[in-house]
Structure 1
Amino acid sequence: MKMKLALATIISIATSSAFAAPKLYGEIDASLDYLPEVNANSSDRDVWKINSNSSFLGIKGEEKLTEHLSAIYLAEWAFYADGDKTDWSQRNRYVGLKDDRFGAIKVGKHNTPLKDLSSPVDSFNNYISNKADITGIMTGENRVNNVVVYDSPELAFNGGNFEASVLVATGENKSKGIEDDNRGGVNVAGGGLGDAWSASLSYSHPLFLVGLGYDKAIPSDFLGHGLLNSSDTETQVDEVFAAANTVRVIGRLTPIEGLALKTLYQTSKVADKKGNDDAAINIDDSQGWLIGAEYKLPNQSKWTVKAQYSQNSTSFKSNAVDFDAKQLLLGADYSFTKQAKVYGYAGYSTFEQASAKDKQPVAGTGLEFKF
């Protein structure tokens, strides 16, 4: 009886509270992928895979404090619909203040502003467990621990809006180097706030979007092999983890209704930081680019067809030949509602250095549900 009374009291207080309830949201995305392999030096290994593609669960909320000021919070956790990995790795999470006139300050763990620039232009974002998008071959797709982020308000100009974002990070220990935390994020080097930082500026208009981003000493992966299904690669090039200085430029054009043309260009240099892989000292630079298009079929608004080509070339300070990664993907989406869609795709990737070349075709289909 006492337990029932206590529970009733808690529910009564919660429902009568002036505080806004948090919003529960998330996404479940799983796909069936076929990755045949042709090896020159070992037996072929065709693989069928069930992949979880950035499935996550989150809570967020906003509480009005004054006429213009609100407290804001968000926390997200990744889970794996295929059951292959341990659930609840960390995604964005923060607490902060937002002013309608001056913007928002957030403290916690967050995507870099440069990373967020890829979302409007990467049509195959998160496909095949994040290996088919630019994360698989380019630097710059990072979420950083121990950060303060400032997001500007939208500033109207000539029919569009300017937005800016700045992230500053601390490694919290001067003697500690960069590291992958193996929980969905990276730690920067150094103990000062601003030892590593990222910023972006974008302008969105009904006809186009342009954006510019910069990372300073943000830990990232160089020499990515994308979705390559191989235990014995021809190129013999290993991925390198190092702090990176990266410049990224994006553009999206909508010349006619239903059609979006997309592009991205970036260049990265290794920043000399403690914790870099030893092989990083030999990397000169990494240059990547992307072109793509999406078209919503007229009179068939539930259907969208899309195509994308991306490439990244890494050069070395020694006499080593450049390492080139190239990916071509074609696909189609059918949206039942804004929350649910089914999709299919096919693609081909190559990873080469001099005469050594790895080749990887792929085909798959998946279902995405947002809530």
Structure 2
Amino acid sequence: MKKVLLAAAIATISLNAAQAAPTLYGKLNVSLNQVDNVNATGNNETQLNSNASRIGVKGEEKLTENVGVVYLAEFGFATDGSGSDAEWSARNRFLGLKFNKVGTLKAGKYDSYFKTSAGKYQDIFNDDTNLDITKTMYGEERLNNVIGFETDKNLLIPGLQFNFQAQTGESSSTDPKAGETGDDNKRDSLDSFSTSLTYENKDIGLATGIAGNFGVQGAYNALDGKKYYSDAIRVTGSLDLTPAGAEGLVFGALYQQAEPTDDVVAYKDLKEKAWLVSGTYSIPSTPWAVKAQYQSAKTDWANNDRKIDQYGLGVDYNFNKQARFYGVVAQQKRDWYVDNDKKTVFGLGMEYNF
């Protein structure tokens, strides 16, 4: 009897340990790229790129019948040994509480809800060093010092989710490039917000959302990446035509507007309007997929205007859900350059998820 009880106790301890154990995950994405007209210099360059490669741990554990703890810590690193992630860098990380059938409260550093409103079919080259929409438009920010809440997707209407994120004032910067909002550029606590309302219905293949940034610092590519506290709105959507009989065919779109907040000193009349359209076709009963995306951003201020246009074409060969080979070709044009206004990229790469 004692042996039976001992075995049961050991099994219980093992089960609890398994439930509490974090999950190790990550992604390695390496590509060999030929880039013509690097940084509008007219020079060509062969690059080995680590496209947002990362590793992290995450987990969830019950505290009570209706409350659990959730956590995630993610680090970026450069597989090629160069760039901003040459050493470990901070990506998403948070600690939070999950309330059963209500939602999740999180605190830490993680992607703005404005950014995440663009799903995988509205930014199909996400993480690519050269093709990501970060290269054209405002709003692709990961925010420090934030508190956020995400409702359960079945709280009111199945598939509907509301997300809200507030950033503390300690994230303010005195660097004029980073804000230019007054004498010392400091912000009050909790006056930067990012929100989104998303809806997904897999039965009809629809995913859509609307997102807003209010006083969130972000980069403008037309101003050489200068960052300003800005207000912005983004509308996204994708339609999977598989339920309609066109298996594997998905279209996506995004539109947004952004402008600096009223307290920004420089570029008070600055406005950026950006959009994209995309298409992905996963060829049925094969490991092949083809995809294309066109994105554009126009920035106006003080009788000046600058426009960035970019297209990208890609072919994927998916071994399984974890591994794929891919090829890309892309071109970006910046219309304010007199010479060398086009950058062209050719690339071959491999991605492995674990």
TM-score bucket (shorter structure): 0.7 to 0.9
1:80 to 78, 81, 85: 78
| Residues 242-253 of structure 1 mapped to structure 2, 5 A cutoff | 242-253=228-239
Superposed displacement of residue 353, structure 1: 2.6
Superposed displacement of residue 307, structure 1: 0.5
| Residues 13-162 of structure 1 mapped to structure 2, 5 A cutoff | 18=17, 20-37=20-37, 44-85=42-83, 86-120=86-120, 121-127=122-128, 129=129, 131-155=130-154, 161-162=159-160
Is residue 189–residue 196 contact of structure 1 (8 Å, CA) maintained in 2?
A: no
Match of 2:189 in 1: 192
- Is the alpha carbon distance of 1:94 and 1:291 closer, same or farther for their aligned partners in structure 2, counting shifts above 3 Å? same
Superposed displacement of residue 354, structure 1: 8.2
Superposed displacement of residue 246, structure 1: 1.0
Counterparts of 2:102 and 2:172, CA distance in 1: 33
> Where has structure 1 moved over 4 Å in runs of 4 or more?
14-19, 173-180, 354-357
Counterparts of 2:294 and 2:275, CA distance in 1: 9
Q: How many pairs were matched up? A: 328
Superposed displacement of residue 63, structure 1: 1.1
Identity of counterpart residues, as a percentage? 35
Superposed displacement of residue 78, structure 1: 0.3
1:339 maps to amino acid: Q
**Normalized against structure 1, the TM-score is what?**
0.82
| 1:284 is the counterpart of 2:270 | yes
Aligned residue for 2:303, secondary structure, equals: coil
**Normalized against structure 2, the TM-score is what?**
0.85
1:296 to 282, 286, 301: 282
Is residue 239–residue 252 contact of structure 2 (8 Å, CA) maintained in 1?
A: yes
Superposed displacement of residue 157, structure 1: 7.4
2:303 to 319, 326, 348: 319
1:333 to 313, 316, 332: 316
Superposed displacement of residue 333, structure 1: 0.6
Aligned residue for 1:81, secondary structure, equals: coil
Superposed displacement of residue 93, structure 1: 0.7
1:56-106 per-residue CA deviation (whole Å, 9 max, x = no partner) reads 110111111111211111100100001013321101111110012210000
| 1:367 is the counterpart of 2:350 | yes
1:204-224 per-residue CA deviation (whole Å, 9 max, x = no partner) reads 012211100000111111135
Superposed displacement of residue 173, structure 1: 7.6
Is residue 176–residue 190 contact of structure 1 (8 Å, CA) maintained in 2?
A: no
- Is the alpha carbon distance of 1:267 and 1:147 closer, same or farther for their aligned partners in structure 2, counting shifts above 3 Å? same
Counterparts of 2:279 and 2:343, CA distance in 1: 22
Match of 1:10 in 2: none
Superposed displacement of residue 156, structure 1: 7.1
Aligned residue for 2:211, secondary structure, equals: strand
Aligned residue for 1:114, secondary structure, equals: helix
Is residue 101–residue 155 contact of structure 2 (8 Å, CA) maintained in 1?
A: no
Give the unaligned 5+ runs of structure 1: 1-13, 181-187, 225-236
Is residue 38–residue 45 contact of structure 2 (8 Å, CA) maintained in 1?
A: no
Counterparts of 1:138 and 1:28, CA distance in 2: 25
